[in-house]
Amino acid sequence: MESGRETVTQVEQWSVEDRVFRIYNMFASIPPGAQTTLLELQRDEHIKYLNEGLKQLGPSFVALDSSRPWLCYWIIHSMALLGESLDYELENNAIDFLNRCQDPNGGFGGGPGQMPHLATTYAAVNSIVTLGGQKALSSINRDKLYNFLLRMKDPSGAFRMHDAGEIDVRACYTAISVASILNILDDELVRGVGNFILSCQTYEGGIAGEPGSEAHGGYTFCGLAAMILINEVNHLDLAGLIDWVVFRQGVECGFQGRVNKLVDGCYSFWQGGVLALLQRIDLVTGEYLSLFDSGEEDSPGNSTSEGEDTDGISSGAEETCHFKNGEQQDASCSVNYTSSNHTRSLGNVETEPLFHSLALQQYILLCSQLENGGFRDKPGKPRDFYHTCYCLSGLSVCQHCCSKDYDSPSVPGQVLGPYPNLLEPVHPLYNVVLKQYREVREFFSRSRAKLN
Amino acid sequence: MDAEEHILRLSQDPEWADLTPIPQDDGPNPVVPIAYKPDFIETMDYFRAVYKANEFSPRALQLTHQAILLNPGNYTVWHFRRLILDALGIDLNEELNFMLGISERNPKNYQIWHHRRWIAEKLGTDAASKELEFTRRMLSLDAKNYHAWSHRQWVLQALGGWENELDYCHQLLEEDVFNNSAWNQRYFVVTRSPLLGGLEATRESEVKYTIEAILGNPGNESPWRYLRGLYKNDPKSWISDPQVSSVCLKVLSAEANHVFALSTLLDLLSHGFQANQEFRDAVDSLRPSNSDPADSDLAKTICSILRHVDPMRVNYWTWRKSKLPSAVSV
């Protein structure tokens, strides 16, 4: 193996670096006032782009005809991040349309009359949660949805995407996420899924879609979030996972999805979200503390346990980048994993995330954002709703990951560009805005008992 | 065959006269409405009719073909097509031919790969060489196609064909040593091939191979992670194998990207590796003149250097430093 010859990977990488650095060099050469303008989040333009998509899509979108709940989610969630609510009529139209995607036997398909699919079920449920309100939330048939989830469960414990469909970590996450947010997660759904996800963590440290495949940002988010939701995150090699994910942020300031692949704005959420989640995991005990619920009962535990060195890099002598929450819950009540004793835990908070938040915001605002609305993968690519959703979600994660409490306003120094760039905070386990997450928790908090 | 040639005028075709097309139930005011073209609407209206009637017929099979050409992402159509193929007992080798053009136009579509796996599973071991050849072709178009690699791994495990896989990985790495998918495949082969005897049997030659790749491009993350992977679950060998520490030392002493050599040495130290003066000198020579004074703790010094030479991860290296075992002073 010689080092002199240029390979495909190198040529493509240099070409992207060239485009990105040209933008950064231009930015560095202009006066501060003009810099601030360039860093502005083009709210009005984004909202216009999103609204138009919600109302009408061109013929080329036929390629996404089996992903229409995804289109709803990408658009509605983006609007919610921007603090914009839909007008009454559009909201009703969205609820009505998503209901037409709901299968009589549970779950949501890619469009009216299509088979139910776990990914579009996740997208539809998150859309409905984001719309919020009695009419939207009660449109979900939870009993049937639960049956659909059980039907998608493979004997191994993992999930299939649809009847006789593929099994992977995406299916596991989307199943666990909707079950958790709708408060229908139980032992039966959880059984075995953790072992499958565990078998997908690779020698590199990240998580793959299937055992043996390559570590990948999207699957790593799905795997980690699912493991937290089922209270089994301590089974993962967290030190290896952290080391892999921090190295995915490159000289372009954005994240790549895999080693030696190109930067892409959508990984701002997938990889940035992984780091936001890791920030709340106690590496000694493997426990996760959410700051996102309020008004629930205090959990009993807040003790600092002197655990063994589980990760090979921590001594257990001091905790920094995580919170303590001594409460260990079993899987059956894992939907209630979130408890609100954070006021007593804040002394341990490390307010700096393990990635470079300002650099990532710079990539999102200068390289992914288009001034006429929407976001893209990287310079030279066209905008789309998927990248708009995940660039904005990543931006929100950056802006809020340093706040000690998501309820308190973000520190201005953590928001790149003018302070009005500040977006609504998201719940990083589900990627729905926090306000709507709280509403859905409240709405379904006492109805699990009625289900069975 | 071109997509256009296949478009039937179903509503004027006597063969379809018995069937009442079913329009899509989008409601009066749908959101995200797509401006469908007339041929798409007609095809899908008839598809819904055969789907609802569970009609497993040659004409329904042909209709799924047409619907797939118009939108290969429609998993319901693919699913129904499999039901028809089963019911009619169609020769699945024909089906593979049907897949060829669609696959090349949609290499990252989940459905085509799932369909292919379904076919290969039914065809059994006879399909192994054809599937390996097919994935090789797809990987020649994009050597990092995630689906193609997943399919290839499934073929190897389910149908066999391991004989030349290590050579194939070598060939791809010769072409592009930065191809992390090829490194991942190499790991898959050395850990799972029934022919090679597992990690213990292959480690020595693999370490040699990997070190050569590292020395060729010390800034290439892939072989560094691969090297670490070769000692997975065996930290004792990881710190005691002189080849590992010496590649770190070699890179640290050269004009090169030092980040991975430093982070690997840090990892060795955290696992109990005892560094001699040579390592201390090599690390010390990398200390920026304006940095903190040298620490007696080599791991701490490494973290401080990494904070300077790898500013994107400044928080990470600060955190790593704070987690070092000797951090007794608060």
DSSP A364: I
Which of the residue ranges A49-58, A104-113, B43-52, B286-295 would you say has the lowest mean pLDDT?
B286-295
Q: Residue B32: helix, strand or coil by DSSP?
A: coil
Q: Which residue has the tokens 């879609």?
A: A209
A87 and chain B in contact, CB less than 8 A: no
Q: Closest to A204 (Cβ–Cβ): which among B188, B225, B319?
A: B225
What's the pLDDT at A89?
96
Handedness of CA B301, B305, B310, B315 (dihedral sign): positive
Q: Dump pLDDT digits (tens) for A246-298.
A: 999 999 999 999 999 999 999 999 999 999 999 988 776 777 776 555 434 33
Chain B nearest CA to A53, separation (Å): 6
Active-site entry in A46, A77, A142, A216: A216
Per CB-CB distance under 8 Å, the chain A contacts of B303 are none
Searching chain B, which residue's CA lies closest to the CA of residue A353? Answer: B315
Chain B nearest CA to A167, separation (Å): 10
A347 and chain B in contact, CB less than 8 A: no
Say what the pTM is. Answer: 0.91
What's the pLDDT at A339?
32
What's the pLDDT at B19?
96
Strand runs labelled E in chain B = none
Distance between CA atoms of B54 and B84, rounded to whole angstroms?
9
CA separation, residue A34 to residues A27, A28, A30, A40, A253 (Å): 9, 10, 6, 10, 21
A123: closest CA among A172, A177, A160, A79? A177
Q: B243 near B201, Cβ under 8 Å?
A: no
Q: B229 near A204, Cβ under 8 Å?
A: yes
Beta carbons of B229 and A109 less than 8 Å apart: no
In which band, very low, low, confident or very high, does the pLDDT at A413 lie, cut at 50, 70 and 90? confident
Restricting to A residues 152-171, those with a Cβ less than 8 Å away from any Cβ of B are 161-166
Query: Is the model more confident about A347 or about A447?
Result: A447
A314: closest CA among A238, A244, A246? A238
Provide DSSP, B202-227: HHHHHHHHHHHHHHH-TT-HHHHHHH
Q: B152 near B135, Cβ under 8 Å?
A: yes
The burial class, CB within 10 Å (0-12 / 13-18 / 19+), for B108 is exposed
What's the pLDDT at A402?
76
**pLDDT mean over A304-310:** 32
Chain A nearest CA to B50, separation (Å): 13
A25: closest CA among A334, A366, A329, A276? A366
What's the pLDDT at A3?
53
A330 and chain B in contact, CB less than 8 A: no
Searching chain A, which residue's CA lies closest to the CA of residue B141? Answer: A8
Q: What is the ipTM of this complex?
A: 0.96
What's the pLDDT at A315?
30
Q: Which residue has the tokens 């990494």?
A: B306
What's the pLDDT at A216?
98
Neighbours of A183 (CB within 10 A): 19
What would the two tokens of residue B219 be? 């800034």
What would the two tokens of residue B316 be? 């990470």
Q: Dump pLDDT digits (tens) for B125-136.
A: 999 999 999 999
Handedness of CA B193, B195, B199, B202 (dihedral sign): negative
The burial class, CB within 10 Å (0-12 / 13-18 / 19+), for B13 is exposed
Per CB-CB distance under 8 Å, the chain B contacts of A203 are 187, 225-226, 228-229, 232
Distance between CA atoms of B3 and B39, rounded to whole angstroms?
12
Beta carbons of A56 and B33 less than 8 Å apart: yes
Distance between CA atoms of A263 and A265, rounded to whole angstroms?
7
What's the pLDDT at B309?
96
Beta carbons of A354 and B79 less than 8 Å apart: no
pLDDT at A33 over 80: yes
Say which amino acid occupies B240.
S
Q: Closest to B153 (Cβ–Cβ): which among A56, A213, A317?
A: A213
Chain mean position to CA B292: 41
Searching chain A, which residue's CA lies closest to the CA of residue B312? Answer: A356
A58 and chain B in contact, CB less than 8 A: yes
